[in-house]
Amino acid sequence: MMKNIAYCIIFFMFLLVIVLPAAIVRSCSSRLYEGLDEKGKIVKPQELTVSLYITSKNRIEKIPLEEYVKGVVAAEMPASFKIEALKAQAVAARTYVYKRMRSKGGTGCSLQKEADVCDDPTHCQAWISTSQMLKKWGIFAFYHYYSKISQAVNSTSGIIIFYQGEPIDPLFHSTSGGKTENSEDVWGNFVPYLRSVISPGEESSPKFIAIKHLPVSEVVSKIRQKWPDISIDPQRPESQWEIIERSEGGRIKKMRIGNRIVSGTEIRELFELNSTNFKWERNKDQIKFTTIGYGHGVGLSQYGANAMAERGASFVDILKHYYTGIEIKKIN
């Protein structure tokens, strides 16, 4: 009797862990790539498809636009966020790829000339497949989160962000720390819709404040590797640091390191800090960096968007707050 119960338990676990996840992925993949509805009937393919270069596989896959957007939202924003924040992310993701689609006159992806975009978040937008979503969320949360993201994407289907008749570059980041940045303060080029705006309510972000300790010897070594001709005290390098200019968003724009003037972005990249809104202090043989915010700070703040959604803002309210002077339209 006990042996039969044990066999039943093992069989049940096999179904739960192996068979059911595989069936879910096959089901989602069938609807995704073969154009089948939930009843298995063939439906008319969507008119727009995205040529996505999947870096891990070194190949290009053709994916319906709206299904591609679901993969971006799942990869870029916590699925636990409010639905209006997910909608805002969906519209931003759709606008990003639409602007780059070669079929619409876009420049495509420079990593792979035949692709519209890639799935490398340092180059284009992050993207994950349904099987990766299943692995990320687990079988019990998969249906809930996938359904929620699908609702956000489907309810905004075809909606794009425009500025003066042209699709925008909808830059976004995790956490601004209270105020976003002007585009020129980060990259030097003025973009009229990427203006600094307040972004309250981001304290729930796990990276709203972060602390990092680095040995003084490592700090000096990195600085000298970056700027070989720099003059700096190897014992107390931080004593020769001075903030010269801050951006409108409150981040460090320029600072003096020894005999050089450098940008806050250079220091952030050099020491792998979360943002350019940082301060430092000496702590024995280490330098303690305290950063506020996470990301470049330009455009939509994801945690700020969720905070707005929690206060009752719609996705349109969110997008028009973070992108100045835009229009939101549905493409044919």
What angle do helix axes 65-76 and 130-137 make, rounded to 10 degrees? 20
pTM confidence score: 0.84
Q: Which pair of tokens denotes residue 84?
A: 């209006």
pLDDT tens for the chain, 332 residues: list them: 554 554 444 444 544 444 444 444 444 443 433 444 444 444 444 468 999 999 999 999 999 999 999 999 999 999 999 999 999 999 999 999 999 998 888 889 988 889 999 999 989 999 999 999 999 999 999 999 999 999 999 999 999 999 999 999 999 999 999 999 999 999 999 999 999 999 999 999 999 999 999 999 999 999 999 999 999 999 999 999 999 999 999 999 999 999 999 999 999 999 999 999 999 999 999 999 999 999 999 999 999 999 999 999 999 999 999 999 999 999 87
Secondary structure (DSSP) of 80-141 = TS-HHHHHHHHHHHHHHHHHH-GGGT---BTTBTT-SEES-TTTS-----HHHHHHHH-HHH
Q: What is the pLDDT of residue 103?
A: 86
Residue 202 gets which letter from DSSP?
G
DSSP state, 203? G
Residue among 73, 98, 75, 96 at smallest CA distance from 84:
73
* pLDDT value for 5: 52
Counting Cα atoms < 13 Å in the Cβ hemisphere of 256 gives 8
Whole-number pLDDT of residue 1: 54
Q: Buried b vs exposed e over 75-108: b needs ≥16 C-beta within 10 Å?
A: bbbbbebbebbbbbbbbbbbbbbbbbbeeeeeeb
Let me know if 184 is exposed, middle or buried by CB neighbors in 10 A (0-12, 13-18, 19+).
Answer: middle
Q: Provide the residue ranges of all domains of the chain, joining segments of one domain with +.
A: 46-173+300-330, 209-292
**What is the per-residue pLDDT for 104?**
86
Q: How far apart are the first and last CA of the chain?
A: 64
CB atoms within 10 A of CB 170: 26
